[in-house]
Amino acid sequence: MCAAAAQVNGEKVLRFEYDSSEHSETVYDAADNELLQLHYDAAGRLTRVSPRTHLDALNVTYDHQGRWTDWSRGDLTVRRVFDDPSGRLVERRLGSRTGYLYVYKNTSKASSCPVLPFFTSVVYRARV
């Protein structure tokens, strides 16, 4: 287990402990109260944030290319859909009722994240 502390003006404000066998990190306040746990996959990507309060945990999922595709926290969800041949973001869904479709002018230019000038249009879609 590894540990480190964050200090402000020489005073410890946070302490971090990393457990390499569990791929997790625990964050403590200055009084050594546990605040949250961070969980990582074998590639070192954040997969879960678990607060030690009444708040819901945040879960993150990645695709085979390492891009985050889903995250959820309680009733809140976001899903991103990529076009595999080009690697571009083609849809983003917020919960079950709202989504955005991305259409690109230049279909040959690969981009993992769309940039506004490349859009032909952004379509807002509300599901009822």
pLDDT at 110 over 80: no
Assess contact for 37 and 20: CB atoms under 8 A.
Answer: no
Closest CA to 29 of 63, 61, 6: 6
3-state class (DSSP) for residue 40: strand
pTM metric for this prediction: 0.69
Interacting residues of 44 by C-beta distance below 8 A, sequence separation 6+: 23
Write out pLDDT tens, residues 22-51. 899 999 999 999 999 999 999 999 999 999
Q: What is the CA radius of gyration of the chain?
A: 19
Token reading at 61: 């999922």
Q: Which helix (H) or strand (E) holds 53?
A: none
